[in-house]
Amino acid sequence: MQTGLDKVLNSLALTAIENSDSQSAIKLFTGYGTDDSGDRIYGGQVMAQAISAAQQSCDSEFKLHSMHSSFLRQGALDKIITYSVDPVRDGRSFLTRNVTALQDNNDGIERPIFSATLSFQKDETGPSHAVAMPEAPAAESLANEEQRIGEFFTQTGLSNDYDWPIDVRFVEPVDLANPQARPPRALVWVKAKGTLPADDTVHKQMFAYASDNPILLPAFYPHGITPFTPNVMAATLSHSIWIHQAFNADDWLLFDIESDFTGGGRGMGKAKVFDKDGRLVASAIQEGLVRKK
C-alpha cells in the first residue's frame, strides 16, 4: 500500500505531451492531484509539480533559486492538470520559465488555475552572510501535528483519513479546540515523513509542497482563530520561495514564521527556513484568505 509520501512523489513524475503547434517553444506536461489532498488540490502539490515541469525544460546545471506564484482558481482532484512551460529567457547564468497550470471545468475548455515565474541559476560564488537561527527545542521532543489534528477531528466527530506526507511539529502549538489570541509568530519543524531520492530537484519540490502548510497560520493567531474554527476560510492566494543553499527536505528544517499584517479578508506570512546546522537555506512569503463566512 502506498503511503501519502509515495503518492506525492509519484505525482511529481509528470508526463510530457507533444505540443500540437510544432513551431512553439512551449513544453507541455500533465499531472494529477492525490487523494490525500482533501476535497481540492493542495496548493503545495501544484507548486511542486510546476517546479518539476519547469526543471524538465532546463539543463541540469541550472538550479531553482526562486519561484513566484499565484493561485487563480480552485483545482479539482479528479481532473488532469496540464502544465504549460514557456521558456521566457535563457541566459548564461540565469534561466526564466513561466508555468501555467490548466484544468478542464467540465465544458471542454482548459482554464488556468495557477501561474508562476521560476528562475534557475548556475552555481556561483561571491560575498555571503546570513542571519542566525533562533533557539528552538529539538523536533523529536515536540508533538506531531498530524496526531494532534487527528485527536481534534475525533473529538469533533470529523473524519480523518488524511495520510500527511510531511511531519510537522510546532514549538508552541495552538489549542485547536479553544484557540487563544497570541502574537503572530511561530517556530515549526518540518520534514518529509520518509527518505527522499538523492536528487536536489526532488528536495526542492518537496520543500515547496511543505511550505504551503504552516506559513499563513500566524496570520490567524492575534484573532484567536485557526483554519479549523467554524465559519473561517483559509486559502492560498500567492506564494513565493527563494532557495539560498542546498538542503535535505527529508531532514528537519526550522520555519521561523511571522505575520506582519492581516486585514481586508487577507493575511500575510513570511518564513526564514534553517537546517539543523543553523544555516539559512530558504525563505518564503505567502498571502492568503483569512476570512469569516
Task: Out of 103, 201, 205, 286, pick the active-site residue.
Answer: 286
Task: Please say if 212 is a catalytic residue.
Answer: yes
Helices (H), the chain: 4-11, 43-55, 145-156, 200-211
CA distance 214 to 223: 17
Distances from the Cα of 221 to the Cα of 178, 233, 271, angstroms: 12, 14, 15
Which of 236, 250, 256, 275 is catalytic? The answer is: 236
From the list 212, 250, 256, 275, the catalytic residue is: 212
Please name the residues in contact with 252: beta carbons below 8 A apart, sequence gap of 6 or more: 139, 189, 190, 191, 275, 276
Read off the C-alpha cell for 191.
520534514
From the number of C-beta atoms within 10 Å of its C-beta (0-12, 13-18, 19+), residue 139 rates as buried
Catalytic residue status for 236? yes
229 is catalytic: no
Measured in whole angstroms, how far is the alpha carbon of residue 91 from the centre of its chain? 27
Residues known to be catalytic: 212, 236, 286
